[in-house]
Structure formats: structure tokens, C-alpha cells
Amino acid sequence: MNRIDETFAALRRAGRKGLVGYLTAGDPDPETSERNIRAALEHGVDVLELGVPYSDPTADGPTIQAASQRALAAGMTTAKSLELVKRLRRDFQTPIVLFGYANPFFRYGYARLCAEAAAAGVDGLLAVDLAFEEADELREHMAGHDLALIPLIAPTTPRERAAAILARAQGFVYYIMVTGVTGARAALAADMAAHVAALRGLTPLPVAVGFGISNGAQARRAAEAADAVVVGSALIQAAGAGRLPELVRALRDALTGTGTGGED
């Protein structure tokens, strides 16, 4: 059982839903990025998705694309992202999922990536554009390091394919509630709860819902169906505006039932 499993078990015991927060490593520069990530962890993120910047983040909308470009311009790399994890591990035991794309992971070398990620304190990997059928090589290298390969399931994923993916899934399920790219949206997908219910019939793993959640009210509604919510673009925007701790607290309060759930 790694930190992801332990965290979701603790959330279940506490009767609370989880907050999975995404921030891009190195955005807008390494020093500011680390301060922002530490602030997010200190104020209530339960699982950190640490984005490895990439020049062609095809699953991401304008906010995360821009974050990647700023980070790359500031010199952030996969190796430096792992060094950042090492520093965070000195002070935090929050689960960390390395969130990235197949190309930079492959170029780094799957064996090297998995060994160094585990040594740094990473708990899981999420390769956004790595097809299930092409993931065996990465999965083999992860197996010896207690790293979870987090699956992505979309509204358009056929039930049979979802069942095959989830049969080999670990950690938690990331359900993408909309087709398209990442980014804050004005409303949740109307069929989100039905899709999450269907996934529960296929796996005992916790289900986290993302792609569009930007405030406490949306987080609370999503958590009525899911075990956790994923927030990325809104956190990046809040960090740029100097409001990251405020937004993380509002999201956390909404998920624990102590906040107003208003438009944060």
C-alpha cells in the first residue's frame, strides 16, 4: 500500500472527499513554483498532481499550455521536476503523481524515470496520451517500484474498454467528465454522476472527477458522486493572481462541508 492508497483509506475513514490539485513544475519559474506547491500542500491538497512541462500538451487547454511554456522557458525539465519532488518530500507525505506525456517520459527512459521517481518520492505516474495498449513497457518498469499507473477514463470510453483498463488500474481512477481539453468551465457535465456510478460497477478504486472544476460549489456537487475532485487550471490562475491558498482552502472547506460552497 503506497501513499495514494493510504490517503484514500484515511479519507474514507474520515467520511471526507479528497482534493487532487494539479500544478505545473517550474511555473512561472522554479522558485515561485516551489513556493506555490508548498502553499497548496499546506492549505489542504490531499494528492498533488505535479505536471512535467511539455511543449505539446495536447490534452491541456490554454491555462496549462501557458504554464508549460513558462516553465520550459524558465529551464524546467523532467530531471528538475524530480529534484523538486525530493525537496518536497523533506516536509510533506502527501501523495505525488507525476503528470505528463508519453514523449518526455519515453525520451527520459522508462527504466530511469521509474527508478528516479520512486527514489525521489513519487507515488504514481499519469501519462495522458499513452494508450492502454501501449503502456505495458512503462508498466513493467513501474512494477518494481510501487508506482501506480493512474488511468484516465472519458465519457466516450466504451464499457468494455473501460473494464479492460480498470482491470489493471492502480491508485485511483481519473474520470474526465467532458470531451475536450483541460480548463475551468461554468458548469459540470450533466451526465457526470451516471458515468461515475457506472465506473463503480467496474472497479473498487476511488474515482476522482476532473476537467472543469474551478470553485467550491462545483467541487461539492462533483463530490456528491465521486471520491475526489481534480482541480488544475483554476489553481494555476489563482496562483498567478496571488490567491492560491484562498482557493485551496475554499475547495477543501466545500469538500468537508464547512464552506459556503459559493463561487470562490
**Within a domain: 260:** no
DSSP annotation string for 140-206: HHHHTTT-EE--EE-TTS-HHHHHHHHHT--S-EEEE-SSS-----SS--TTHHHHHHHHHTT-SS-
pLDDT at res. 175: 95
**Within a domain: 261:** no
Q: In angstroms, rounded to a whole number, what is the distance separating the alpha carbons of residues 69 and 51?
A: 12
**Within a domain: 199:** yes
Q: For residue 12, give the amino acid letter.
A: R
**Within a domain: 264:** no
**Within a domain: 259:** no
**Within a domain: 241:** yes
Residues in a beta bridge with 176 = 210
Active site residues: 49, 60
- The per-residue pLDDT string of the chain (264 residues; one tens digit each, 9 = 90 and over) reads 689 999 999 999 999 999 999 999 999 999 999 999 999 999 999 999 999 999 988 778 899 999 999 999 999 999 999 999 999 999 999 999 999 999 999 999 999 999 999 999 999 999 999 999 999 999 999 988 999 999 999 999 999 999 999 999 999 999 998 654 454 444 567 788 999 999 999 999 999 999 879 899 999 999 999 999 999 999 999 999 999 999 999 999 999 864 444 433
Provide the CATH number for the domain around residue 199. 3.20.20.70
Q: Is 109 left (phi over 0), alpha (psi -120 to 50) or beta?
A: left
The pTM assigned to this predicted structure is: 0.93
Strand segments, DSSP code E, in the chain are: 18-24, 47-51, 96-100, 124-127, 148-149, 152-153, 173-176, 207-210, 228-231
**Within a domain: 60:** yes
Q: How many domains does the chain have?
A: 1
pLDDT at res. 178: 66
**Within a domain: 212:** yes
Q: What residue numbers bound the domain in which 156 lies?
A: 3-10+17-254
